[in-house]
A and B are shown apart, each in its own frame.
Chain A
Amino acid sequence: MSHLISDRVFVIDQSRCIGCEACVQACEECGTHRGQSLIHLEYIDRAMSTQTAPMVCMHCEDPTCAEVCPADAIKQNENGVVQSALKPRCIGCSNCVLACPFGVPKYFSRPDQMMKCDMCYDRSSVGLKPMCASVCPSQALWFGTLDEFGATREGALIFELRFGNQAVPTKVGTVVHDISAGPINVTVPVPGLWQEDPFGLEAAVP
Chain B
Amino acid sequence: MRNSADTRRSGLPLQPRAAAIALLSVAVVLVLVFLGSSGLQWFDAALAGYLIGVLMAVFAVVYRYLVWLQRPPTAMLNRRGWESFRRRGRLARNVGGLVGLATTNLLAQGFIRRRATSRWAAHQLVFWGCALAAVVTFPLTFGWLHFESVGQDGSEYRAYLFGVGTSSFQATSAVGFLVFHLLNVAAFLVIAGVLIFLYRRMRDPGALAVERSGDFLALAGLFAVSVTGLFLTASTLWLEGRFYSFLTNLHALTVILGLLYIPFGKLFHIFQRPANLGVHYYRSDGETGDQQACRRCEEPYASSRQIADLCEVLGQVGFDYGDGTGGIFQQICPSCRRKMVTVAQAARVGGFG
B329 in contact with A91 (CB, 8 Å): no
Minimum CB–CB distance from B73 to chain A (whole Å) comes to 4
A91 in contact with B314 (CB, 8 Å): no
Chain B contacts with A in 316-346, Cβ cutoff 8 A? 317-324, 327-330, 333-346
CA A89 to CA B212, docked complex, whole Å: 14
Minimum CB–CB distance from A163 to chain B (whole Å) comes to 5
CA A44 to CA B210, docked complex, whole Å: 33
| A204/B350 contact (C-beta < 8 A), A111-B115, A165-B321 known | yes
B335 in contact with A103 (CB, 8 Å): yes
| A12 contact set on B, CB distance < 8 A | 345
| A188 contact set on B, CB distance < 8 A | 344
CA A155 to CA B330, docked complex, whole Å: 30
Instruction: Identify the stretch in A2-10, A20-28, A142-150, A175-183 within 8 Å (CB) of chain B at 4 or more residues.
Output: A175-183
B302 CB within 8 Å of chain A = yes
Most B CB atoms within 10 A — which of A84, A93, A191? A93
B12 CB within 8 Å of chain A = no
CA A91 to CA B351, docked complex, whole Å: 41
Minimum CB–CB distance from A60 to chain B (whole Å) comes to 10
Interface size on B, residues (CB 8 A): 70
B344 in contact with A190 (CB, 8 Å): yes
| A15/B351 contact (C-beta < 8 A), A68-B313, A99-B330, A102-B337 known | yes
- By beta carbon, the residue of chain A nearest B74 is A70
A184 in contact with B210 (CB, 8 Å): no
CA A111 to CA B119, docked complex, whole Å: 12
CA A107 to CA B12, docked complex, whole Å: 37
B307 in contact with A98 (CB, 8 Å): yes
CA A125 to CA B283, docked complex, whole Å: 37
B276 CB within 8 Å of chain A = yes
Number of A-B contacts (CB under 8 A): 230
Interface size on A, residues (CB 8 A): 86
Chain B contacts with A in 270-286, Cβ cutoff 8 A? 272-273, 275-276, 278-279, 282-283
B319 in contact with A178 (CB, 8 Å): no
| B1 contact set on A, CB distance < 8 A | 61-62, 167, 169
Question: Which of B2, B310, B319 touches A98 (beta carbons < 8 Å)?
Answer: B310
| A71/B272 contact (C-beta < 8 A), A111-B111, A111-B115, A166-B329 known | yes
The interface bits of chain A over 18-44 (1 if a CB of B lies within 8 angstroms of the residue's CB, else 0) are: 000000000000111110000010101
A31 in contact with B321 (CB, 8 Å): no
CA A32 to CA B313, docked complex, whole Å: 30
B114 CB within 8 Å of chain A = yes
Give 19 pairs: A residue, B residue, CB < 8 Å, sorted on A.
A15-B345, A45-B339, A55-B341, A70-B77, A88-B269, A91-B276, A91-B278, A97-B334, A101-B337, A113-B115, A122-B205, A161-B344, A163-B321, A165-B322, A177-B350, A184-B344, A186-B329, A197-B351, A200-B353
Task: Give the interface of B toward A (CB within 8 A).
Answer: 1-2, 5, 68, 71, 73-74, 76-78, 111-112, 114-115, 204-210, 266, 269, 272-273, 275-276, 278-279, 282-283, 302, 306-307, 310, 313-314, 317-324, 327-330, 333-353
